[in-house]
Amino acid sequence: MSRLACTRRAGTRNRCGKPAHTPASTELLPEAAAEFSEQFKLATAASEPINYKATSDYAVEMKKRGTRLRINLAGLPKTKKDEKRPKEIVPQDEAQMRSLLSSVNVLMTDFLTNPVFSDMGTLDNQLALKARRDLDALIELSDVVRKSADTLAKTTHQ
């Protein structure tokens, strides 16, 4: 059934059987997070070499989903120009890549556990602003991860 067909009807559930008060975008958060988190945890495990091709693919998917989520969560407050995160340095070796992937995993966990997504009753502007900043940072970092993974894959011939 298409998203447009899943409209709200009387009661607490929409035609798709999902709670009417929960936006569809936040229902996908745990599923997407589990996929990305598992990949990044595997990539940061020191026992195995990083699969740069898979990491690049996950970064592309993370950016795509993050961008779509940013559109769906347009109601979150926008960050000010002077609140931008410092640019992440591009990893030049596997150790730096593991560090970057670990940072991405922490940031993703912070974003997904933000109470703004679980408490639908009230909207705390500070929490909403942090969620927006975290989401924007994840989208930016996904580009850094992808580019780095592609470059490192060429140098290690994966």
Per-residue pLDDT tens digits for 62-73: 899 899 988 888
Question: Please, what's the b/e burial string for 96-121 (b: 16 or more CB within 10 A of its CB; e: otherwise)?
Answer: ebbebbebbbebbeebbebebbeeee
Residue 21 has pLDDT above 50, yes or no: no
Predicted confidence at residue 32, as pLDDT, reads 62
pTM across the whole model = 0.71
Measure the CA angle with vertex 108, ends 98 and 146; round to 5°.
50
Residues of the chain above pLDDT 90, percent: 17
> Which tops the pLDDT comparison, 25 or 111?
111
Predicted confidence at residue 147, as pLDDT, reads 94
Q: Where are the domains of the chain?
A: 24-74+84-156
User: What is the pLDDT confidence band of residue 89, given thresholds at 50, 70 and 90?
Assistant: confident
User: What's the CA dihedral at 43, 46, 52, 55 to 10 degrees?
Assistant: 10
Residue 39 has pLDDT above 70, yes or no: no
Predicted confidence at residue 26, as pLDDT, reads 47
Q: Residue 90 in contact with residue 147, Cβ under 8 Å?
A: yes
Predicted confidence at residue 145, as pLDDT, reads 93
Two tokens at 130? 């942090």
Predicted confidence at residue 5, as pLDDT, reads 40
| Positive/negative CA dihedral, 67, 63, 88, 101 | positive
Distance (Å, rounded) from C-alpha 61 to C-alpha 64?
5
